[in-house]
Structure 1
Amino acid sequence: MDISTAGWLVIAIAIAAANLPFFNDKLFAVVPAKWAPKPLFIRLLEMTALYLVVGAVGFALETQIGARFPQGWEFYAISGCMFLVLGFPGFILRYLRKAHG
């Protein structure tokens, strides 16, 4: 796998993972929840866990391609904010869209 394909793969996984908590009421889309609608703080905790999973996938792909580069706190701050931005469409559809009818 080349660098470009790995980069696009991580971006596609990040888009799917950032929106996953907002499109279903199951925990990680697998475990049935005891509550009817998931509270927002559970969705945000789920997003945090999925951010770590996407980061692990990215690091694994980077290691497979070649040497892994050391990252500072700036990288994690920017990638965390970008993950939140990628999850914004799911947030809009879940909380800000008006129900018709």
Structure 2
Amino acid sequence: MSAAGWFIVLLALVGANLPFFNQRLFAVAPLPAAKKSAWIRIAELIVLYFAVGLIGFYLEARAGNRFEQGWQFYAITFSLFVVCAFPGFTFQYLVKRR
């Protein structure tokens, strides 16, 4: 696997966990509520999936061999993106804090 491929995998891991490790919108804008709701986290996860996908398309096109993908590819990659978000989800919702 090339360096660009590993970069996308690392970016996907960071992007998938980003909504769960902070209380800001996309880790930048503060929200008026004290805690971010689960729906906002899901929306962030979807937007970050598309952002990582666009970066992946750019890197693939720059390498010179961009391939057309069907809906199955997007269903599998989104599922993998959600699986990558498991550590952040566990930290946010399943770890008991004192």
* Same fold, TM-score > 0.5, yes or no: yes
Find the partner of 2:60 among 62, 73, 78. Answer: 62
TM-superposed CA distance for 1:67, in Å, is: 2.4
Find the partner of 1:36 among 34, 42, 66. Answer: 34
Q: Distance in 1 between matches of 2:39 and 2:56?
A: 26
Q: Which residue matches 1:22?
A: 20
The SS at the match of 2:29 is coil
Find the partner of 1:83 among 74, 78, 81. Answer: 81
Q: Distance in 2 between matches of 1:65 and 1:13?
A: 18
TM-superposed CA distance for 1:16, in Å, is: 0.2
In structure 1, give the amino acid aligned to 2:62. Q
For the aligned residues, what is the CA RMSD?
0.8
TM-superposed CA distance for 1:88, in Å, is: 0.5
Q: Distance in 1 between matches of 2:83 and 2:34?
A: 26
For residues 64-101 of structure 1, the C-alpha deviation after alignment (integer angstroms, 9 at most, x for no partner) is 0012100000000000000000000000000000113x
Q: Which residue matches 2:2?
A: 4
Higher strand fraction: Structure 1 or Structure 2? Answer: 2
Q: 5+ unaligned residues in a row in structure 1: which ranges?
A: none
Q: How many residues align?
A: 98
Q: Distance in 1 between matches of 2:86 and 2:23?
A: 17
Q: 5+ unaligned residues in a row in structure 2: which ranges?
A: none
- Which TM-score applies when normalising by structure 2? 0.97
Q: Which residue matches 1:53?
A: 51
Identity level (%): 50
Which aligned runs of 4 or more in structure 1 are off by greater than 4 angstroms?
Answer: none
